[in-house]
Amino acid sequence: MTTNFLVVGGTGKTGRRVADRLRERGEKVRIASRRGVPPFAWGDRGTWADVLAGVDAVYLTYYPDLVVPEAAGDIRAFTELAVAAGVRHLVLLSGRGEAEAEACEGIVRAAGTGWTILRCSWFAQNFSEHFLLDAVRAGEIVLPAGTVTEPFLDVRDIADVAVKALTEPGHTGQLYELTGPRLLSFADAAAEIAAAAGRDVRYVPVSAGEFAAAAASQGVPEAEVGALAELFARVLDGRNASVTPDVARVLGRPATDFADFARDAAATGVWTR
């Protein structure tokens, strides 16, 4: 028996949704995570070979982010091992407007097997899962984003695109730049969350330095704080303030609107617990 699909980061925002959709289709799925069987960790290359054994296609995410210095080396080593193990298709989750992420894309494209790149804008679910959840619950979203606008992207759309790329023909050698259907400022996003949740939520702009100091004071690891602050300073400068048609082109339906995300998230009670 072979495991057809490996989902790296299969407990994360996109990975668990990709895994769920594949299972719903009756596919055999292996989850690569620290608690997976076999276990996997990006920081322990000795764990990589076992998760790749018998795998045909990989949904590839990198923790904490492709912008960190060690990402390119890890992606190169992992893809080389994957190709040697017989993997026929790699679907990489990448970030929009990030030079380091684009370098990792190049590594995957040159790996010698089929590939699809999903270059994604800011996740809408950052407001409802982990990263900004506590901030929304506290009523203040504090970020170094000024008045920049973003085409917030629903991760459910990412998962739907990823599954198509993994299971259907026509996506090999494609780079999809995925965005939501419209631009919103972070103040706009806060207002839409407030309306959906029926509570006060506001956006508070700060400098990158102020954001980093606050994150460090809350116990975020120093390396992660530095990477986040640098990333925000670069990508929240308006470079991503545009929408693309790629979600609709792949899925045959419009990308999910932020208002629909906010309504669905609010209905779970996640912002009122």
pLDDT band at 1 (very low <50, low <70, confident <90, very high): very low
pLDDT, residue 129, reads 95
Residue range 83-111: mean pLDDT, rounded? 97
Tokens of residue 173, six digits = 């050698």
Residue range 139-164: mean pLDDT, rounded? 96
pLDDT, residue 230, reads 73
Average pLDDT of the residues of the chain: 94
Pairing of strands 140-143, 174-178: unpaired
Residue range 55-75: mean pLDDT, rounded? 95
pLDDT, residue 231, reads 74
pLDDT band at 202 (very low <50, low <70, confident <90, very high): very high
pLDDT, one tens digit per residue, over 100-127 is 999 999 999 999 999 999 999 999 999 9
Closest CA to 142 of 187, 100, 177: 187
Task: Give the separation between CA 146 and CA 127, rounded to whole angstroms.
Answer: 17
pLDDT, residue 131, reads 84
Q: Strand order of the sheet with strand 57-60?
A: 29-32, 5-8, 57-60, 89-95, 114-120, 174-178
CATH of region 5-121+154-178+242-255: 3.40.50.720
Across 35-39, 232-236, 251-255, 269-273, least confident range: 232-236
Across 59-63, 134-138, 164-168, 204-208, least confident range: 204-208
SS3 for 28-53, per residue? CEEEECCCCCCCCECCEHHHHHHHHC
Q: How large a percentage of the chain has pLDDT more than 90?
A: 84
pLDDT band at 207 (very low <50, low <70, confident <90, very high): confident
Task: Give the separation between CA 46 and CA 262, rounded to whole angstroms.
Answer: 41
pLDDT at 143 over 70: yes
Task: Give the separation between CA 229 and CA 252, rounded to whole angstroms.
Answer: 36
Whether the CB-CB separation of 121 and 184 falls below 8 Å is answered with no
> Domain boundaries in the chain?
5-121+154-178+242-255
SS3 for the chain, per residue? CCCCEEEECCCCCCHHHHHHHHHHCCCCEEEECCCCCCCCECCEHHHHHHHHCCCCEEEECCCCCCCCCCHHHHHHHHHHHHHHCCCCEEEEEEECCCHHHHHHHHHHHCCCCEEEEEEECCEHHHHCCCCCHHHHHHCEEEECCCCCEECCECHHHHHHHHHHHHHCCCCCCEEEEECCCCCEEHHHHHHHHHHHHCCCCEEEECCHHHHHHHHHHCCCCHHHHHHHHHHHHHHCCCCCCCCCCHHHHHHCCCCCCHHHHHHHHHHCCCCCC
pLDDT band at 3 (very low <50, low <70, confident <90, very high): low
Task: Give the separation between CA 261 and CA 108, rounded to whole angstroms.
Answer: 31
Whether the CB-CB separation of 203 and 144 falls below 8 Å is answered with no
pLDDT, residue 186, reads 97
Query: 51-87 in b/e burial notation, b at 16+ Cβ within 10 A?
Result: bbeebbbbbbbbbebbbbeebbebbbebbeebeebeb
